[in-house]
Amino acid sequence: MLNIALFGPPGAGKGTQSEFLTKKYNLYYISTGDLLRKEMAEKTITDNPGSNGFLFDGFPRTYIQAYILEGLMIKLNTSLNCLISLNVPEEESVKRLLNRGLTSGRSDDNEQVIRNRLKEYNEKTLPVLQFYKDKGIYMEVDGTVSIEKVHEQITNIIRQELSKSLFNIVLFGYPGSGRGSQGKAIAKHFGLEYVATGPMIDQEIKKNTVTGKKINELYENGQLVPDEIVVQLIEKKLADSKDIKGFIFKGFPRTLVQSYILDGLLKKHGSSISQIIEIEVPTLELISRLDARSKTEGCMPYDNSTAKIVKRLQEHETKTAPVIDKYKQLHGVTKVDGLGTFDDVFEGIAAEIENGFKSMR
């Protein structure tokens, strides 16, 4: 997500710049703390998954509100990328507001009121700006130049922020939907790191590591691999991956618990989920595909009978469908038609990812 706080004294042009930013980067606009808390309480923020982040216009206004915002961002599993301050000298602000008063008819656009507002802004805002300077996310732009020049300065700052962000995709779909083959192809095409729990577990067994031996013991006793082991493998994968554009996750998260684990793992590495894609395939087609696969070398343990196939599909319905519903509320889920040739489906997924890249850049 892209989360920005835009600051500047009265007359700095925050309104104009806010309109530009919300449209260009598809951000959800928040102008006051009361509005933010109200919308959090009513869940209208999480019910608007189409946005790519938040734009806070002149908020937080006080040092205490800065801490309030920190807490609210944590609740949303995200954080503020940067605070951008439009620097405009006091006399320039006064001049602009007086000129605005000639046409606005606003009673507060007189010099005495303007200077009182500027004084209040400086007294309350300086501690807030210092708060974000200490966090290392405070940025300044020259607010005295033309609107276009201010646009350009802000865009450059945001471009730099976005270049630090990984683009992380979670690929969903029922068994037989083609997640594995599509996930590998998409990862290669976009230069993403492919993260699938199955291959990682197999690799541990093959290398006969300590973890691999534990997994073998579990298998021999008819037990599933617990989240404790899976999470360690994923965390190691995230830590060992360097100089990449992002990750594509297949087969994880499968449960609501795992979805919260993934959110936490990515946050620990200063990242978050960028896009959720679900490959849709009708149930009868899934059964047909899995039955056909059972007669090949690629047969999976749950492919060798119709009863096992149906049970696996039902398990996905009960455990993973709620995860997708959660992400629909928080991020939005893009659905791609899984019927057609491999290339057809690949092109559909790739087009959605291209759109995702564009909207974030």
Buried b (16+ CB within 10 A) or exposed e, 176-212: bbbbbebbebbbeebebbbbbbeebbeebeeeeeebb
Q: Which of 144, 163, 182 is the endpoint of a domain?
A: 163
What letter would DSSP give residue 245?
Answer: S
Q: What is the pLDDT of residues 230-242, one digit of tens each?
A: 999 998 888 888 8
Cα of first residue to Cα of last residue in the chain, in angstroms, is: 11
Exposure of 10 by Cβ count < 10 A (0-12 exposed, 13-18 middle, 19+ buried)?
buried
Q: Are 148 and 186 within one domain?
A: no
Confidence of residue 38 (pLDDT cuts 50, 70, 90): low
What percent of the chain is predicted at pLDDT more than 90?
47
Q: Are 108 and 197 within one domain?
A: no
Q: Which of 145, 163, 181 is the endpoint of a domain?
A: 163
Q: Are 200 and 345 within one domain?
A: yes
pTM above 0.75, yes or no: no
CATH, residue 216: 3.40.50.300
Angle among Cα 42, 278, 309 to the nearest 5 degrees reads 120
Q: What is the pLDDT of residue 330?
A: 78
Q: What is the pLDDT of residue 359?
A: 64
Q: Are 143 and 207 within one domain?
A: no
Q: Which of 112, 135, 163 is the endpoint of a domain?
A: 163
Measured CA to CA, the distance from residue 241 to residue 37 in angstroms comes to 38
Joined together, the tokens standing for residue 328 give 């629909």
Joined together, the tokens standing for residue 51 give 């946005």
Residue type, 43: K
**Do the beta carbons of residue 253 and residue 263 sit within 8 Å?**
no
Strand partners, 171: 250, 277
Q: How many domains does the chain have?
A: 2
Three-state helix/strand/coil letters over 269-321: CCCCCCEEEEEECCHHHHHHHHHHHCCCCCCCHHHCCHHHHHHHHHHHHHHHH
Q: What is the pLDDT of residues 262-308, one digit of tens each?
A: 988 888 877 888 899 999 999 999 989 888 888 887 766 666 778 88
Q: What is the pLDDT of residues 181-240, one digit of tens each?
A: 999 999 999 999 999 988 899 899 999 999 999 998 888 877 778 889 999 999 888 888
Q: What is the pLDDT of residue 99?
A: 87
Collect all residues with Cβ–Cβ distance below 8 Å to 319 and sequence separation of at least 6. 254, 255
Q: Are 159 and 180 within one domain?
A: no
Q: Are 146 and 112 within one domain?
A: yes
> Average pLDDT of the chain?
87
Q: What is the pLDDT of residue 186?
A: 96
Joined together, the tokens standing for residue 256 give 């609501």
Q: Are 158 and 182 within one domain?
A: no
Q: What is the pLDDT of residue 174?
A: 92
Q: What phi, psi does 4 have (nearest 5°)?
A: -130, 140
Q: What is the pLDDT of residue 43?
A: 61
Q: Are 9 and 157 within one domain?
A: yes
Domain that holds residue 270: 169-360
Q: Are 93 and 221 within one domain?
A: no
Which candidate, 156, 17, 28, 135, places its Cα nearest to that of 87? 17
The CA distances from residue 81 to 74, 91, 184, 200, in Å, are 13, 30, 31, 32
Q: Are 144 and 19 within one domain?
A: yes
Q: What is the pLDDT of residue 250?
A: 93
Q: Are 149 and 180 within one domain?
A: no
Q: Are 76 and 145 within one domain?
A: yes
